[in-house]
């Protein structure tokens, strides 16, 4: 493939180059994958109003997210195992985001550590935190993010227990991959990926390995991780995190208006409307369908962001029109990373920026901060009634 014109082109290339278990990890959802699919297809139902004979000169996509200037209202979402899509993947994606002037968010379950990314970038990035049972480790992790100069903490609340991820179970997902016959045969068809991994020491969860007492090998690390996500997570724990962090905080995983209200009360600076990419509760609302309800309920009191199903600049613009101050891309950048490394992430961001710019112009606007529901065709999006009883 010599000409790449869409994120879909990058997905196809990534599928050829990334080992099956890691490609499936990125490109799959929970159970029947209905929410995963709806995240993407529900964007397609929303139609745009084309305008003509308007001034389209001097356009700008510049905006802010939690007070931070961004070149476009887009951030790279936290994704686990990013460094298994491509060697040193988190570092490469962070560099691409830095050059573009948008936030990069590092996952707790990353392959490259907080320190790895900090040592290989020059600007602050965001760190995503999962609440785990080991509170001493949580405190150390928060302190490490502070020491690295992270400018925001993204607290994910929708992974107290793991969703039904059938492909990951069937593939025997692990990092690094276990030396089974099936895996060895698959890896033999991915020479580019294998050469990259031979050239790095970053092949496991480096935010955890070496930072937890009693973890001596991959077996003990896997066992520890499997028992650490906290099913008793509560809003009191969010307050505990906020007090220890002391900086900008974003709550991720909100789909319900009552939870949005709780996010406001927590004192967070922003919330992310998200269903974890369709990888948790299958049958939940798509993120873009839930977004207008959340904006209507709390949008005047907290900054509302969203993720899920974003594959183009048009998707970003539709989310902004429905009230999102920031839009996160996960799979879109992972496809670019798996396909072409840092150059692929840069290509993803270039595609999204160009699609946003052209679409905004054809809708008759020159400044992304003026984008609102007036660019959408009435009746093609549904604000809906509250999903809770009041």
On whether 276 is known to bind a ligand per the annotation, the reply is yes
pTM of the model: 0.96
On whether 166 is known to bind a ligand per the annotation, the reply is no
Annotated domain spans of the chain: 7-375
pLDDT at residue 385, rounded to an integer: 58
* Cis amide linkage into residue 176, ω under 30° from 0: yes
CATH code for residues 7-375: 3.20.20.70
Order of strands across the sheet that contains 249-254: 74-76, 326-329, 303-307, 270-273, 249-254, 152-156, 126-130, 105-106
pLDDT at residue 217, rounded to an integer: 59
pLDDT at residue 390, rounded to an integer: 38
pLDDT at residue 226, rounded to an integer: 77
On whether 252 is known to bind a ligand per the annotation, the reply is yes
First-to-last alpha carbon distance for the chain, in angstroms, is 54
| Partners of 239 in the β-ladder | none
pLDDT at residue 384, rounded to an integer: 64
- Known catalytic residue at 276: yes
Q: What is the pLDDT of residues 183-209, one digit of tens each?
A: 999 999 999 999 999 999 999 999 998
On whether 366 is known to bind a ligand per the annotation, the reply is no
Which listed residue (166, 211, 276, 305) is catalytic?
276
Residues across the chain = 390
Tokens found for residue 34:
């209905």
On whether 320 is known to bind a ligand per the annotation, the reply is no
Q: Which residues of the chain carry a pLDDT beneath 70?
A: 1, 216-220, 384-390
pLDDT at residue 219, rounded to an integer: 63
């Amino acid at each position: 493939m010599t000409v790449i014109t869409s994120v879909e082109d990058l997905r196809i290339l990534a599928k050829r180059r990334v080992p099956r278990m890691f490609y499936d990890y990125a490109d799959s959802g929970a159970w029947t994958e209905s929410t995963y699919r709806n995240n993407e297809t529900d964007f397609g139902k929303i139609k745009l109003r084309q305008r003509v004979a308007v001034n389209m000169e001097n356009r700008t996509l510049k905006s802010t997210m939690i007070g931070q200037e961004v070149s476009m209202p887009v951030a790279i979402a936290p994704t686990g195992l990013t460094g298994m899509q491509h060697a040193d993947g988190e570092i490469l994606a962070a560099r691409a985001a830095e050059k573009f002037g948008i936030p990069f968010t590092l996952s707790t379950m990353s392959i490259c550590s907080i320190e790895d990314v900090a040592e290989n970038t020059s600007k602050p990035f965001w760190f995503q935190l999962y609440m785990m049972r080991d509170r001493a480790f949580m405190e150390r992790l928060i302190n490490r993010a502070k020491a690295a100069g992270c400018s925001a903490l993204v607290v994910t609340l929708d992974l107290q227990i793991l969703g039904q991820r059938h492909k990951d179970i069937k593939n025997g997902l692990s990092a690094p991959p276990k030396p089974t016959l099936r895996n060895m045969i698959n890896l033999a068809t991915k020479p580019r990926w294998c050469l990259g991994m031979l050239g790095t020491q970053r092949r496991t969860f480096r935010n955890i390995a070496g930072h937890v007492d009693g973890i001596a090998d991959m077996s003990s690390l896997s066992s520890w991780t499997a028992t650490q996500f906290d099913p008793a997570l509560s809003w009191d724990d969010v307050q505990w995190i906020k007090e220890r962090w002391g900086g900008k905080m974003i709550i991720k995983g909100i789909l319900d208006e009552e939870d949005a209200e709780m996010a406001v009360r927590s004192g967070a600076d922003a919330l992310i409307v998200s269903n974890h990419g369709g990888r948790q509760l299958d049958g939940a609302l798509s993120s873009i369908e839930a977004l207008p309800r959340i904006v209507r309920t709390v949008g005047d009191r907290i900054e509302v962001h969203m993720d899920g199903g974003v594959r183009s600049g048009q998707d970003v613009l539709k989310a902004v029109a429905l009230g999102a101050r920031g839009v996160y891309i996960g799979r879109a950048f992972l496809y670019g990373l798996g396909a072409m490394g840092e150059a692929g992430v840069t290509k993803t961001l270039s595609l999204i920026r160009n699609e946003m710019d052209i679409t905004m112009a054809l809708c008759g606007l020159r400044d992304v901060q003026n984008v609102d529901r007036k660019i959408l065709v009435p009746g093609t999006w549904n604000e809906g009634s509250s999903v809770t009883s009041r």
